[in-house]
Structure 1
Amino acid sequence: MRADRLVSLVLLLRQRGQLSATTLARELEVSTRTVLRDIEALSAAGVPVYAERGRHGGFTLLPGFQTELTGLGHDEALALLVAGSRRGAQAFGLGSALASAMLKVVDALPDNYRDTATGAAQRLLLEPEIDLLSRRRDTEEVPDAVMAAVRRAVLTGHRLRIHYAAAEKPPEWRTVDPIGLVTVREQGYLLATKSGEDRTYRLSRVLDAEVLTEPAERPDEIDLDRAWQERSTRFRTGGDQVAVLARVNPVRRKDLVGTALAVLSETEEDDGRLLMEATFQDARHAVWALWQLATNAEVLEPHWLRTTLHDRATAIVKRYGP
């Protein structure tokens, strides 16, 4: 445990610069006395850590001191940084880099740790391709060359030219300023701006991509989580939304809530069914969502949606009739 703590101490000083004994103790969850003993142990082992005296003093490493994992490439390091979710590495086109990086990490372990780690890894499985009902996840494939170009533009801060196929529209070339990449429920998105306006592109709809030489017009720093939340809010509240009033069987309430953009109202009727008003992205979204509920929902409004579902059900009956 002490060896792990010493490594963590060195990495903290490497990544954050000068830190006081109190700060180090808080980060490592030990006493300041333990930190001072660890500093002495590092100095004795030849690690160039020294103290800055005074009110704003602390401990720091000699400038230029490096701690490297030999042979770890840029993409491999990036893959490890997003490997909190292996699916994230896959979505960003870093799956092979992650596999390569993990081989190097395992190879760098001491012999006694390597056997233990590999044995333990065989007993942990994260997000297999199928569930207990043999249903495969709906993963979206993005060509490696396309994903590499998009990722390079995002990381280097260059403008990006993409051949994009929007829903129900012919593909067209667009020049954008990339901001970041986001993966949500197996789907990857490029956050960008176009002519100063926020744009969000689904990666599976990018048919081709080309990194341009001119720098992207974007802020130096970005709170990607906040940017995603803001775009999500605009997506739910804008566009050609459809409001639907329906009676819903309580056992399928969760399904409706999970597919709707928002639930505006909900009351329980005398027969136990729920009278719910919900909004959907557009007409196609509303038809799809209510059709999934079959007889567990009855659309009251709008009339065109009720008619559409009736016509679809009638066609099914006719197809399978005697």
Structure 2
Amino acid sequence: MRASRLVSALLLLQTKGRMTAQQLATELDVSVRTVYRDMESLAAAGIPLYGEPGHDGGYQLLEGYRTRLTGLTTDEAEALFLSGLPGAAADLGMGAVLTTAQLKLMAALPEELRDRAGRIQQRFFLDTSSWYADREPTPHMAAVVHAAWNHFRVRMFYRRWATPREVTRVVDPLGVVLKAGRWYLVARCGDSIRTYRIAQILWLESLEERFQRPEGFDLSSYWDTYMQEFDARRYVDKAIVRMSESVFERLAHLMEPGIVRVAREAAQPDGDGWVRTLIPMESVQHTAGLLLRLGAEAEVLDPEPLRRSMAEIATTLASTYAAPIVANVTRTTR
């Protein structure tokens, strides 16, 4: 365990350059005291490592030093081939680069690891697209990625949900995110960081002006927070709904995970094989459409506007299907 940690510390310093003891401790999930001991052990082993005290100090390898610890374990080789996302790489214009890199890696592996890595590719495939939806066209993806990578500010013409629908924005591209088969641009606009659906960019121009990334900005952390806030903004209320146990058990196949999670946490037996629970509400109209999927084995108890909306929809459906079919259909035969 300690030997593996020493190797990880060495590779971190080689990859990231100067790092403080606290930064190393965070990366390695150990105490600062343990980092001090590990650095002493590396130096004693002949690694050209030196440390500088003070606020701007830290540990650093001697310039030009490169470790030759390039061996891969079986698990590491398999993990590398599992990490390839062919669809995402193609969207980013890096499909050929990924293929070439994998071929080089495969050629460099010992025969045993090469066989294991080959079996991984034959047995696992990651499809990032969502069910029942075509892949969105993203003609401006390459320009977005280039601007984000090279810190170029961009001007874009964007279609949004709010009014006015089409707006012009000058933004600093900070990164892109693939979510359920759809690509999103995370960018700074003025003093705030916002999220834009790349398929809704109608026109984009990369400007000559460069920008500085916000200090401490982390794309993964931002996205986690954004998703939590997104659900909080959407779900403005909760409906009390009773449903049959059979429908409740199939809820995960009928509604999105956030709704299902709340429903399961609030579920209570309601007698006669039914369950009473809470369903997060985005709006009366939207929630009514969701609850129609549950059919007659669900009943809204509260709020009254949602219950009334469900009753109106049911009445309209009953009237529609009670009437005889009147159609002017021209049948053709061959």
Whether TM-score is above 0.5 comes out as yes
User: Where on the TM-score scale, by shorter chain, does this alignment land: which range?
Assistant: 0.5 to 0.7
CA-CA distance at 1:54 after TM superposition: 10
Q: 1:12 to 1:187 in 2, by over 3 A?
A: same
Q: 1:152 to 1:312 in 2, by over 3 A?
A: farther
* Matching residue's letter, 1:285: H
Confirm or deny: 8 A CA contact 1:83 1:98 kept in the other structure. no
* Structure 2: distance between partners of 1:38 and 1:124: 43
- Look up the match of 2:208: 213
Q: 1:180 to 1:110 in 2, by over 3 A?
A: closer
TM-score after normalising by structure 1: 0.65
Deviations 1:18-64 (A, max 9, x none): 799xx89x96x9xx89x969985xx6xxxxx4254999999853303
- Look up the match of 2:279: 278
TM-score after normalising by structure 2: 0.64
- Look up the match of 1:12: 12
* Structure 2: distance between partners of 1:8 and 1:288: 52
CA-CA distance at 1:193 after TM superposition: 3.8
- Look up the match of 1:101: 101
Asked if 1:230 corresponds to 2:225, the answer is: yes
* Structure 2: distance between partners of 1:66 and 1:10: 10
Q: 1:114 to 1:238 in 2, by over 3 A?
A: closer
* Structure 2: distance between partners of 1:207 and 1:54: 51
* Matching residue's letter, 1:212: L
The 5-angstrom pairing of residues 75-224 of structure 1 reads 84=83, 86=85, 89-90=88-89, 93=92, 96=95, 97-107=97-107, 109-110=108-109, 112-113=111-112, 115-128=114-127, 138=133, 140-143=135-138, 145-167=139-161, 172-177=166-171, 178-216=173-211, 219-224=214-219
CA-CA distance at 1:124 after TM superposition: 2.7
Q: 1:217 to 1:53 in 2, by over 3 A?
A: closer
SS in 2 for 1:222: coil
Q: 1:91 to 1:139 in 2, by over 3 A?
A: farther
* Structure 2: distance between partners of 1:52 and 1:120: 43
The 5-angstrom pairing of residues 22-61 of structure 1 reads 49-52=47-50, 61=61
* Matching residue's letter, 2:157: H
Confirm or deny: 8 A CA contact 1:161 1:212 kept in the other structure. yes
- Look up the match of 1:258: 257
SS in 1 for 2:48: strand
* Structure 1: distance between partners of 2:190 and 2:228: 21
Confirm or deny: 8 A CA contact 2:284 2:309 kept in the other structure. no
* Matching residue's letter, 2:105: V
CA-CA distance at 1:237 after TM superposition: 3.0
* Matching residue's letter, 2:104: K
Confirm or deny: 8 A CA contact 1:241 1:282 kept in the other structure. yes
Confirm or deny: 8 A CA contact 2:19 2:60 kept in the other structure. yes
Q: 1:7 to 1:51 in 2, by over 3 A?
A: closer
* Structure 1: distance between partners of 2:140 and 2:233: 30
* Structure 2: distance between partners of 1:240 and 1:114: 49
- Look up the match of 1:46: none
* Structure 2: distance between partners of 1:81 and 1:159: 33
CA-CA distance at 1:125 after TM superposition: 0.8
SS in 1 for 2:216: coil
* Structure 2: distance between partners of 1:313 and 1:277: 27
CA-CA distance at 1:199 after TM superposition: 2.7
Unaligned runs of at least 5 residues, structure 2: 31-36, 69-78, 328-334
CA-CA distance at 1:175 after TM superposition: 1.4
* Matching residue's letter, 1:50: P
Identical amino acids, percent of aligned pairs: 23
